[in-house]
Amino acid sequence: MSDLPLIQADRAVPPPAATTSKGGRRRRLRLLSRTDRVVITLMVLVPLLLVTGFVWLPAVATVLLSGTNWDGIGPLNEIEFVGARNYSDVVNIYPPFVPAVQHNLLWLAALFVVATPFGMFLAVLLDKELRGSRFYQTALYLPVVLSLALIGFVWQLLYSRDQGLINAVFGSNIDWYGDSNVNIWAVMVASGWRHVGYIMLLYLAGLKGVDPSLREAAAVDGASESRAFFRVVFPVMRPINIIVLVVTVIESLRAFDLVWVVNKGRNGLELISALVTQNVVGEASRIGFGSALATIMLVVSLVFITIYLATVMRENRE
């Protein structure tokens, strides 16, 4: 066991006074052996390169391309810059854009107000160890295992106007996926179906981790069940709450698969992510225009990322 400590005994920590000076800091670095330094350098460099190459460069390239009208053909030096025209086109003459923004916000609101609280509610119920709770747990979590693309297909069997289960059972004639007043809600039910299971599992894990003595203490003090939950258990689960919040925001921003499977994000199911794909992927693509949409989405995401980071950092400081 004597060789375990990373800081070797013969290079012991210098007296605290020395660390205040510049030289002291340098000496502290030397506390690590050569191998350690190589390992640390690699551990910093490799992810840095990967993040730069696969995240930042494409992001910057997207922003740059958003100022062009490139169609994906021809050498890069022939790309023509059109300034902010793509952005003005997006806002002024591209009919699907405004609905897409609205639907993204609606998506966020629906997950946040309905699906997430419902998932929490189910988690609290399951935490009570009811009879057969394992069965319910599995049943509710099952959709999370499926890809959203598959979920879209499963719900299609229910929603199809002429051949779907819902219309067949109720004798109704509702065009669930085709009527633009209905389909966004229909799709969100399908999306919530999956989201609820996800949140439920996260919360269940959080609830299992709450110290039982806290509840006992609350019960001894005479707090009702719901009061104990909202006043004691819920605040204790703050880390889980933040994760759930972030997961909900991320899920709503990356909502894509489902609407794509249903009708490629058209006719009432416009989402920014679907518009980006419609414009960029394909044989003769509007890469510049699609990049402008992607940049807008990046900016929107950055707002949420900033809020999240600010919250987390403030917490750490406290």
Partner 1 sequence: MSRPRSQAEYLARLVPSSVAGINRRSLLAGAAGTGALLGTGLLAGCGDDSGGSDSKDVSLGSNQSDPKPKDVVAKVTDGFKTSSGVQVAVNTVDHNTFQENINNYLQGKPDDVFTWFAGYRMRFFAQKGLAGDISDVWGKLSGYSDAFKKASTGDDGKQYFVPASYYPWAVFYRKSVWQQYGYQQPKTLDEFTTLAGQMKKDGLTPIAFADKDGWPAMGTFDILNLRINGYQFHIDLMAGKEAWTSDKVKKVFDTWARLLPLHQPDSLGRTWQEAAQSLQQKKSGMYLLGLFVGQQFSNEEQSDLDFFTFPEIDPAIGAKALDAPIDGYMMARKPKNEDNARKLLEYLGGKAAADITVKNDPATLVANSGADVSGYTALQKKAAELVGSATEIAQFLDRDTRPDFASTVIIPALQQFIKDPKDIGGLTSSIENQKKSIFTD
Binding site for partner 1 (CB under 8 A): 69, 71-74, 85, 89, 92-96, 147, 149, 159-163, 173, 175-180, 183, 257, 260-261, 263-264, 266-267, 277-279, 281-286, 289
Residue 89 vs 127, nearer CB to partner 1: 89
Say if residues 110 and 187 touch (Cβ distance below 8 Å): no
Residue 159 vs 198, nearer CB to partner 1: 159
Smallest distance, Å, CB 77 to partner 1? 14
Question: Tokens at residue 162, please?
Answer: 């002429």
Smallest distance, Å, CB 52 to partner 1? 21
The single residue listed with the structure tokens 């299609």 is: 156
Instruction: 183-189: list long-range contacts, CB under 8 Å, 24+ apart.
Output: 183/262, 183/263, 183/267, 183/268, 183/269, 184/103, 184/106, 184/268, 184/269, 186/155, 186/159, 187/152, 187/155, 187/258, 187/259, 187/262, 187/269, 188/106, 188/107, 188/110, 189/155
Residue 169 vs 303, nearer CB to partner 1: 169
Smallest distance, Å, CB 108 to partner 1? 22
Q: Name residue 106's amino acid.
A: L
Residue 159 vs 203, nearer CB to partner 1: 159
The DSSP letter of residue 179 is: -
231-260 core/surface letters (b: 16 or more CB in 10 A; e: else): ebbbebbeebbebbbbbbbebbbebbbbbb
Residue 99 vs 119, nearer CB to partner 1: 99
Smallest distance, Å, CB 110 to partner 1? 21
Smallest distance, Å, CB 193 to partner 1? 18
Smallest distance, Å, CB 99 to partner 1? 10
Question: Tokens at residue 181, please?
Answer: 């007043």
Residue 107 vs 260, nearer CB to partner 1: 260
Residue 103 vs 286, nearer CB to partner 1: 286
Residues 282, 288, 290, 294: is their CA dihedral positive or negative?
Answer: positive
Looking at the chain, list the stretches that DSSP marks H as alpha helix, in order from N- to C-terminal side: 16-19, 22-29, 34-51, 57-65, 85-92, 97-110, 116-127, 133-145, 148-159, 165-170, 183-208, 212-220, 225-228, 234-236, 238-253, 257-263, 272-280, 287-317
In sequence order, the 6+-apart residues with CB closer than 8 A to the CB of 162 are none
Smallest distance, Å, CB 105 to partner 1? 20
Q: Name residue 126's amino acid.
A: L
Smallest distance, Å, CB 116 to partner 1? 24
Residue 162 vs 318, nearer CB to partner 1: 162
